[in-house]
Amino acid sequence: MSNETDAQVARRTAIEAGELLLEVRGAGTAGMTQAEQRAVGDEGDRRSNDLLLRRLSEVRPDDAVLSEESLDDRVRVTRDRVWIIDPLDGTAEFRTDRDEFAVHVALWERGRLVAGCIALPERQRVRTTDDPVTGPAPLDLNGDIRVVVSRSHIPTDFEVIAARLQQQLIEAGNPDATVTHYSVGSVGGKVDEVMLGNAAVYLFSGGLSEWDAAAPFVVAEHQGYVVRQVDGTEFTYNHENPRVGSGYVAHPALADMLAQAVAGTGL
């Protein structure tokens, strides 16, 4: 058993996996065929997963692991400590030379997430639950409120939600407020956009796998962002079916209005 804290383990292993992914992608995939790009993505998924499983078994041999890239051993639901990992969040972005792919490492212990890290190696950024709490930067509500969404689909009823949110902002004394959206591929990349201040909200429908959500969400909560399911409840993890519901990561200045905006929609 390592003398490192769980957050330190998450950080070290996520960084090492990210460095490996950069090695796998090498000089990039421009000029490759789609089949060659898929092969690079598959290799990244496999090798990053192998590394993370090996490192976690070395320092936390008694813990269970839930990974996107491994067969799910359901015995984990009976365990007190489960690492929830995504060895390569945003495989499509990784294999097509975009920069928002990430490595997710989080620890669930007795009903809640207690540590986590998202490493974005191409962006040279690492965010962990060990970081000093600086909190979200001030948000100008009388301007363009940007919502980051999935590259593959717009959240259900987005136009309704955006119109409701914009109307609330205007009624609250922000006559120039507008609500717009843009897309980013991986969950880690989208949460990073919110924490950078590029977006005020990450909004998603259709749910997520636990390995997509766990590390980004616990890191965002650590810094004071509001992370909720569409019904206003907190996300929970280590379920037999490892999925979470639809919801959002929001700047706290916008969270109450957003909760009202999504209420009763198809999100």
Domain boundary among 104, 128, 152: 128
Answer yes or no: is 136 within a domain.
no
| Burial annotation 203-228 (CB, 10 A radius, 16+ → b, else e) | bbbeebbbbbbbbbbbbbbbbebbbb
Answer yes or no: is 135 within a domain.
no
pLDDT confidence band for 2 (50 / 70 / 90)? confident
Q: What is the pLDDT at residue 19?
A: 98
Residues 210 and 105 in one domain: no
Pairing assessment for the beta strands 144-150 and 178-184 based on DSSP bridges: parallel
pLDDT confidence band for 1 (50 / 70 / 90)? low
**pLDDT > 70 fraction of the chain, expressed in percent and rounded:** 100
pLDDT confidence band for 114 (50 / 70 / 90)? very high
Residues 152 and 96 in one domain: no
Residue 238 in tokens:
């280590």
What CATH number has the domain bearing residue 88?
A: 3.30.540.10
Has residue 88 got a pLDDT over 90? yes
Nearest in space to 200 (alpha carbons), one of 261, 238, 148, 246: 148
Residue 212 in tokens:
């997509």
Residues 58 and 171 in one domain: no
DSSP string, 59-85: H-TTSEEEETTS---GGGGG-SEEEEE
Residues 162 and 213 in one domain: yes
Residue 149 in tokens:
């969404």
pLDDT, one tens digit per residue, over 239-249 is 999 999 999 99
Residues 152 and 238 in one domain: yes
Residues 11 and 115 in one domain: yes
Whether 220 contacts 128, CB under 8 Å: no
Residues 51 and 112 in one domain: yes
Has residue 175 got a pLDDT over 90? yes
Identity at 222, one-letter amino acid code:
H
Q: Could you list the residue range(s) of the whole structural domain that residue 98 is in?
A: 6-128
**pLDDT > 90 fraction of the chain, expressed in percent and rounded:** 96
What is the sign of the dihedral through the CA atoms of 17, 20, 25 and 26? positive
pLDDT, one tens digit per residue, over 128-162 is 999 999 999 999 999 999 999 999 889 999 999 99
Whether 247 contacts 149, CB under 8 Å: no
Residues 227 and 172 in one domain: yes
Residues 173 and 248 in one domain: yes
The residue-averaged pLDDT of 10-28 equals 96
What CATH number has the domain bearing residue 220?
A: 3.40.190.80
Mean pLDDT of the chain: 96
Residues 243 and 196 in one domain: yes
Domain count, the chain: 2
Residue 18 in tokens:
């990210």
Answer yes or no: is 139 within a domain.
no
Residues 116 and 10 in one domain: yes
Residues 75 and 155 in one domain: no
Nearest in space to 28 (alpha carbons), one of 99, 88, 125: 99
Domain boundary among 97, 128, 159: 128
Residue 4: CA count within 13 A, CB half-sphere:
16
Nearest in space to 104 (alpha carbons), one of 241, 240, 213, 224: 213
More confident residue, 28 or 84: 84
